[in-house]
Amino acid sequence: MTLLNPPAVIVVLLAGSVFNTASAGDRELGQYLSAECVACHQASGTAAAGVPSIVGWPESQFVAVMNAYKNKQRDNPVMQTVAGRLAADDIAALASYFGGLSPTTK
């Protein structure tokens, strides 16, 4: 049995981390795209006037909910319209941005 030489192991490990990073959303793009979201969903993480907070959601949950609105599986005409305009990369970017925020207390 032969073992991989150290440089080969490093290349394999680095390749794996690149692929994992590529699947994550672009947080900076998410922050850029978030202006429309925070008009209703408070960036502070507080729910207001029946609009739920989206701050700190797990990314997979955010993506699933947005795709459900996009595919008209969840009923809210405003959210269906907003989600319908977003590409998969945009939704992933928003998920990354909002998932990385923590609720603030005032």
Tens place of pLDDT per residue across the chain (106 aa): 555 555 544 444 444 443 444 447 899 999 999 999 999 998 888 888 889 999 999 999 999 999 999 999 999 999 999 999 999 999 999 999 999 999 885 4
Cα–Cα dist 45/60, whole Å? 18
Q: Give the CATH number of domain 25-99.
A: 1.10.760.10
Q: Domain boundaries in the chain?
A: 25-99
CA–CA–CA angle 70, 71, 75 (5° rounding): 80
Q: Please tell me the predicted confidence (pLDDT) of residue 46.
A: 87
Q: What are phi and psi of 85, to 5 degrees?
A: -85, -10
Q: Please tell me the predicted confidence (pLDDT) of residue 17.
A: 40
Tokens, residue 27: 């947080």
In DSSP terms, which residues pair with 51 in a beta bridge? 48
Q: Please tell me the predicted confidence (pLDDT) of residue 76.
A: 96
